[in-house]
Each structure stands twice: as structure tokens, then as C-alpha cells.
Amino acid sequence: MSETHSPRRVLRSIGAVLAGMVVGIVITLGTDELLHVVGVFPPWGQSMVGFDGALLLATAYRVVYGVAGSYIIARLAPNRPMLHALVGGVIGLVVSAVGAVATWNSGPAFGPHWYPLALVVTALPSAWAGGKLRLIQLRQPAQVSAGSTL
């Protein structure tokens, strides 16, 4: 078996994607809970209708967290960081699309239809941005250590 497809490398790839996704999910849910507690969002289960500003905020931080999660995926990837980040993005796209379909006509607790569509639309660009940040970081010359002379 080639080094590129060794079982260890495959497990590291899977682990990188899972780690980035878990971080993104945990910080998203934590932020959601905090915003419910402080009253930016209504209590859980109540209508999100009329909370377009709060949903816009939620969309914005989900994009930021998506970029961060994708960066983590790319950072932990054993090779091809952009591909790994985009795999995470495709998973996010599929999950967002399934969520949009599942909640489409489920009532006002899920807010207006633009919100789940925004999550679908932003999944891949967020993943690309996280992967791109890692690629930019990899292209930077090594930092000069604090004690060395030029």
C-alpha cells in the first residue's frame, strides 16, 4: 500500500475533518445558548419571526466559525489541506441542505426561509476561506526566532 493511502493517513484525514467539525459545532451551539440566555434570541422553541437582526448575527458568526473549523481541518490534515477543508465544507453543505428541507414548513420557531438558505450558500465559501488561510500560512517564510541575529 502506498504511503499516500496508508491506513494511518486515512485515519488522520478523518480525524482532521471530525475535529474541525466538532470545534465548529461546539462553538456555534455555545454561542447560540449564550445569545438565548442573554435575550438576543428568544427562548428555545419560541418563534424566530421578527428576529431577522439576530438571525443575521447568527449567520455571520456561523460563517466565521465555519472558516475557523475549516482552518482547523486544513491545519490537522496530513496532506492536501484545501481538499480536506472542502470535504468539511461539502459535509456542511449537505447537513445544511438537509436541515433546510427538514424545517422548511415546520413553523415560526425556525424563522424565515432565508436563514437556512444562507447556511447552505455559505458552507462552501467558508470552507474555502479556512483552507485558504492555511495555504497562506504554509507559504509564509519561517519566522525568525526571538533570540537569533540577522
Residue 24 lies in a domain: yes
pLDDT for 41-74, tens place per residue? 888 878 777 788 989 999 999 999 999 999 999 9
Give the three-class secondary structure for 150: coil
Domains of the chain: total:
1
pLDDT for 104-142, tens place per residue? 988 777 788 999 999 999 999 999 999 999 999 999 876
Neighbours of 54 (CB within 10 A): 17
Residue 1 has a pLDDT of 45
CA distances in angstroms from 54 to 38, 40, 69, 94, listed in the order given? 12, 7, 22, 24
Residue 44 lies in a domain: yes
Residue 143 lies in a domain: no
Residue 149 lies in a domain: no
Residue 119 lies in a domain: yes
Residue 59 lies in a domain: yes
Contact 69, 130 (CB under 8 A): yes
Residue 12 has a pLDDT of 95
**Structural domain range at position 41:** 7-136
pTM of the shown model: 0.85
Residue 145 lies in a domain: no
